[in-house]
């Protein structure tokens, strides 16, 4: 699979200086963690789940989570498991994105793998909710047993979303214990996810559409600490993904839109800007920009119209790529003016940033010199916002 393959080949040639590379389910986890991009959640109860998965993949989705936890009611668990197994058996692996199942408890992993049999090969792993060290060890042990039973590499994505992780008096201990556990099971961990909705719920909060998660200081503080503990660039870190954006149609606004009109006017794309605002994607675009600045990679999404925006903003700009290659091309340190003559690059301090950026460039590509985010948004978001498909 490859990002942006759903876009016309001629248009892709115009957009990219270096096109995205292909990747497979068996790729190195460091590649897959970045390639997740916008991970679309879907309740496992959907009667058209198999068709939804294939249809979403055809339109650019490269990772999905089929949810057996908070997205369904407690009374529907047995039905959801039955539906999930039946629907997965209908999916051609060649037409599917990276698929994960969000479970409620560890034994559900074993139960599903036994029922799926050889169809387990369709899965890339499991999302492990409410993750803390004590229960997390059981999750990872069961995940290893399921991988051995099925003969399939199954990766875990623990979700940090418990009250003890958020509460100031227990946070340091909780995060440290999780970090020690994940270090012991590093080969099983694909990425660390953040459960924004559950974290807000711990204080009875819900962010309005006009604000980003970074405006909710209680949660923003935890995001900072999670990146501090799990996102280090010293070889011990993991990819940490951005929390969910939960709005997908605009209501009445209290504040001005968060997309300046001038970049769209310059590209004669005022109609695209209106569609983005109507679909309430301006807040998402701002939050993804802040995610990247704060060390997060990829994002949980709950509507197909979100995917194109996240992926467009994941493409590496030609300027960023030039900076990164210049930095990595220097041995022994030193400072230099950037190729674009608008900033200073320092070979040693900026090296880790450059290495991470080139990993993202590999799976999302490098934009052509004259291609900006508006061009990428128009190519990836335009059609979806005009004709969005349900969750």
Which pLDDT tens digit goes with each residue over 250-266?
A: 555 444 555 555 565 55
**pLDDT above 70 as % of the chain:** 89
Q: Output the pLDDT for position 389.
A: 38
In the predicted structure, residue 333 carries a pLDDT above the cut 90: no
**Residue/partner pairs of 20-24 with CB below 8 Å, 24 or more apart:** 20/362, 20/363, 20/364, 20/365, 21/362, 21/363, 23/363
Instruction: Report pLDDT for 254.
Output: 43
When pLDDT is averaged across residues 180-192 and rounded to a whole number, the result is: 98
Pairing relationship of beta strands 242-245 and 299-301 according to DSSP bridges: parallel
Instruction: Answer whether 68's CB lies under 8 Å from 81's CB.
Output: yes
* Residue 332: predicted pLDDT: 84
Which helix (H) or strand (E) is 157 found in, with range?
strand 155-160
Share of the chain above pLDDT 90, in %: 80
Mean pLDDT, the chain, as a whole number? 91
Dmax of the chain from CA atoms? 62
Assess whether pLDDT exceeds 50 at residue 18: yes
Categorize the per-residue pLDDT at 390 as very low, low, confident or very high, splitting at 50, 70 and 90: very low
User: Is pLDDT larger for residue 383 or for residue 295?
Assistant: 295
Beta carbons within 10 angstroms of residue 205's beta carbon: 12
Please tell me the number of Cα atoms within 13 Å of 21 on its side-chain side. 13
**Per-residue model confidence (pLDDT) at position 385:** 43
Domains annotated on the chain, with CATH: 22-313 (3.20.20.60)
The tens digit of pLDDT for each residue in 41-68 reads 999 999 999 999 999 999 999 999 999 9
- Asked whether 268 and 353 are in contact (CB, 8 A), the reply is no
Residue 329 has pLDDT above 60, yes or no: yes
Mean predicted confidence (pLDDT) in 268-285: 63
pLDDT digits (tens, 9 = 90+) for 339-369: 888 999 999 999 999 999 999 999 999 999 9
Looking at residue 247, its pLDDT comes to 84
Which has the minimum average pLDDT: 21-30, 106-115, 188-197, 367-376?
Answer: 367-376
Token pair listed for 171: 């946070």
The pLDDT value recorded for residue 261 is 59
Map tokens 């909780």 to a residue. Answer: 174
pLDDT tens digit sequence for 213-240:
999 999 999 999 999 999 999 999 999 9
Question: Considering the entire predicted model, what is its pTM?
Answer: 0.91
Q: What pLDDT does residue 341 have?
A: 84
Residue 198 has pLDDT above 50, yes or no: yes
Position 386 confidence tier, pLDDT thresholds 50, 70, 90 = very low
What pLDDT, on the 0 to 100 scale, is given for residue 262? 57
Distance CA 376, CA 147 (A): 38
pLDDT value at residue 47 = 97
Q: Label residue 382 by pLDDT band (50, 70, 90).
A: low
pLDDT in tens, 154-185: 999 999 999 999 999 999 999 999 999 999 99
Q: For the residues 113-127, what does the mean pLDDT come to? A: 97
């Amino acid at each position: 699979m490859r990002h942006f393959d759903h876009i016309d080949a001629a248009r892709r040639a115009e957009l990219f200086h270096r096109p995205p590379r292909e990747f497979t389910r068996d790729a190195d986890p460091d590649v897959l963690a970045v390639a997740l991009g916008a991970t679309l959640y879907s309740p496992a109860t959907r009667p058209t789940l198999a068709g939804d998965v294939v249809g979403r993949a055809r339109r650019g989705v490269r990772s999905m989570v089929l949810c057996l936890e908070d997205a369904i009611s407690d009374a529907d668990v047995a039905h959801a498991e039955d539906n999930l197994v039946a629907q997965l058996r209908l999916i051609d692996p060649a037409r599917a994105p990276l698929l994960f199942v969000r479970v409620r408890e560890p034994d559900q992993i074993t139960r599903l793998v036994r029922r799926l049999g050889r169809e387990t090969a369709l899965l890339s792993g499991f999302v492990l909710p409410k993750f803390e060290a004590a229960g997390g060890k059981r999750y990872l042990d069961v995940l290893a047993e399921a991988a051995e039973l099925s003969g399939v590499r199954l990766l875990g994505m623990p979700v940090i979303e418990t009250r003890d992780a958020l509460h100031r008096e227990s946070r340091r201990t909780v995060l440290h214990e999780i970090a020690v556990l994940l270090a012991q099971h590093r080969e099983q961990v694909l990425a660390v996810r953040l459960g924004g909705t559950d974290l807000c719920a711990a204080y009875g909060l819900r962010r309005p559409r006009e604000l980003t998660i970074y405006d909710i200081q209680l949660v923003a503080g935890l995001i900072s600490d999670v990146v501090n503990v799990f996102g280090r660039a010293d070889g011990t870190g993991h990819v940490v993904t951005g929390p969910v954006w939960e709005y997908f149609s605009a209501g009445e606004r209290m504040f001005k839109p968060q997309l300046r009109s001038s970049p769209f006017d310059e590209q004669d794309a005022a109609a695209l800007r209106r569609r983005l605002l109507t679909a309430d994607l301006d807040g998402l675009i701002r939050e993804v920009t802040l995610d990247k600045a704060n060390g997060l990679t990829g994002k949980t999404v709950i509507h197909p119209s979100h995917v194109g925006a996240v992926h467009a903003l994941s493409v590496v700009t030609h300027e960023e790529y030039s900076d990164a290659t210049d930095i990595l091309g220097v041995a022994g340190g030193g400072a230099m003016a950037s190729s674009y003559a608008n900033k200073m690059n320092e070979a040693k301090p900026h090296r880790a940033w450059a290495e991470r950026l080139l990993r993202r460039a590999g799976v999302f590509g490098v934009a052509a010199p004259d291609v900006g985010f508006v061009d990428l948004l128009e190519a990836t978001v335009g059609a979806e916002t005009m004709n969005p498909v349900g969750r």
